Chains A and B, each alone.
Chain A
Amino acid sequence: MKIRNGQLKSRAPDHDGNAARRFYRLAGWLGLAATLILIFTASAVPAYGQTGASTPPSQAPPDRNVQCVLGLPTMRHNTMGVLTVQPDALQFASEKAKAGISIASILDLFTSNDSKQLFSGVGGTLARTAVPYGGGRVLALFSHATEVLTVEYKDADGGYHGAIFMLPKGQASAIKAQLVAHGAHASIPPEAPGTEEKKP
């Protein structure tokens, strides 16, 4: 009996331990699943936003998160504003000024899906380094969901110009497609819309 009692006494804490272990394991799995869901939804939202836009891209609301990195004569470098495609021009409007590139003057157009980390200033870098315990470095791994649109064009005297815009992911391709539809020249044709819709 003593032994049995002893066994009984020793089994009871084991049950508690197993239950706690199961609870922690379950909580861990749930946490992991929640993190994965968050990551997937964060990365999928722009893609769905892009494919879900069955309306013509020109009717989409203008995005104010476009950065004119350089190349527009009346704009300072890294100005934020709205980039829209007009029937005869690509127009960039900041809070203070407007600038346009005539579609007829466009020599070539490029988008860059694989050069997401080409840009970002010292300010952002310093802000990331300010995050304690090296968190900024982890943040840097997820903070480059941007796309680049490069527009080569000529001025009234025939002089070459190049403008670089940084847009939220997926929008550069849409703008390029619109410009080509309006008659702009592009040595590399824009991606067919169907290719993106196939994505899950």
Chain B
Amino acid sequence: MKHRNQTAFPVVFALVLAAGLLIAGSLPARTSPPAQAAPAAAKLTASAIQIELLDPGDLPIPPEFRVAVYENLVAQVEKANKFQHVLRSGNRNASSAADLVILKTIAQAYTKGSQKQREVTTVSGATSIKIKAQFTDRNGKVLLEKELEGSVRFFGGNLNATNDFAKKLFTLIGETF
């Protein structure tokens, strides 16, 4: 028994050492990404934002849907409280705003669902809209671009998809500004 213990000890010791080395080797790899990501996460600053109308592209987005996207977007940007001035598209004061970013939204995909179908089947009829949100400066230089999706799958009217999208943009603004 003693002999067995004596031979087993170096084996166990070697295994523990190897495991320790492996963990130590993987640690720098794990810790390095946040160190590299830190400069990328530098927040943007602006005192004013102008929100442009949704560009539907070639997609058959109904007017009420476009309006709902816009109004929910304005409401969420105001709620984020990151800008002194939230200006709507066409606002004349935008030209005199010193530190202005422009938020453009471009529709990428749109699936017209049906509330009726959702209520009857509960599994189909989801409405979804995929929109590219683009923050640019006054000269059109893109500062940030991200694709977000708003959808309504179970409860509520189709327009709730626009609110879902606006809430995601609210989170994005919180992370970016």
Q: Which residues of A contact B (CB under 8 A)?
A: 69-71, 108, 110, 112, 115, 117-122, 125-126, 128, 136-137, 140-141, 144, 148, 150, 152, 154-155, 157-164
Across the two chains, which residue of chain B brings its CB closest to A138? B120
Q: Say yes or no: B63 contacts A161, CB within 8 Å.
A: no
Q: Given the known A-B contacts A125-B155, A125-B156, A157-B91, are A118 and B64 also in contact in the complex, defined by CB atoms under 8 Å?
A: yes
Given the complex, which residues of B lie within 8 Å of A140, measured CB to CB? 116, 119-120
Given the complex, which residues of A lie within 8 Å of B155, measured CB to CB? 122, 125-126
Q: Say yes or no: A158 contacts B68, CB within 8 Å.
A: no
B11 CB → nearest A CB, Å: 63
Q: Say yes or no: B156 contacts A157, CB within 8 Å.
A: no
Given the complex, which residues of B lie within 8 Å of A117, measured CB to CB? 114-116, 157-158
Cross-interface CB contact of A118 among B66, B71, B159, cutoff 8 Å: B159
Q: Say yes or no: B114 contacts A152, CB within 8 Å.
A: no
Q: Say yes or no: B71 contacts A162, CB within 8 Å.
A: yes
Given the complex, which residues of B lie within 8 Å of A148, measured CB to CB? 64
Q: Say yes or no: B68 contacts A70, CB within 8 Å.
A: yes
The stretch of B13-21, B82-90, B98-106 in contact with A is B82-90
Q: Say yes or no: B157 contacts A119, CB within 8 Å.
A: yes
Q: Say yes or no: B156 contacts A164, CB within 8 Å.
A: no
Compute how far the CA of A155 lies from the CA of B71 in the bound complex, rounded to whole angstroms: 14
B143 within 8 A of A: no
Q: Say yes or no: A150 contacts B64, CB within 8 Å.
A: yes
Given the complex, which residues of A lie within 8 Å of B135, measured CB to CB? none
Given the complex, which residues of A lie within 8 Å of B66, measured CB to CB? 162
Compute how far the CA of A69 lies from the CA of B92 in the bound complex, rounded to whole angstroms: 27
Q: Could you name 29 residue pairs across A and B whose Cβ atoms are closer than 8 Å?
A: A69-B68, A70-B71, A71-B71, A110-B64, A112-B62, A115-B62, A115-B158, A118-B159, A119-B157, A119-B158, A119-B159, A120-B115, A122-B156, A125-B156, A128-B119, A136-B119, A137-B119, A141-B120, A152-B63, A157-B91, A157-B92, A158-B92, A159-B88, A159-B89, A160-B70, A161-B71, A162-B66, A162-B71, A164-B67
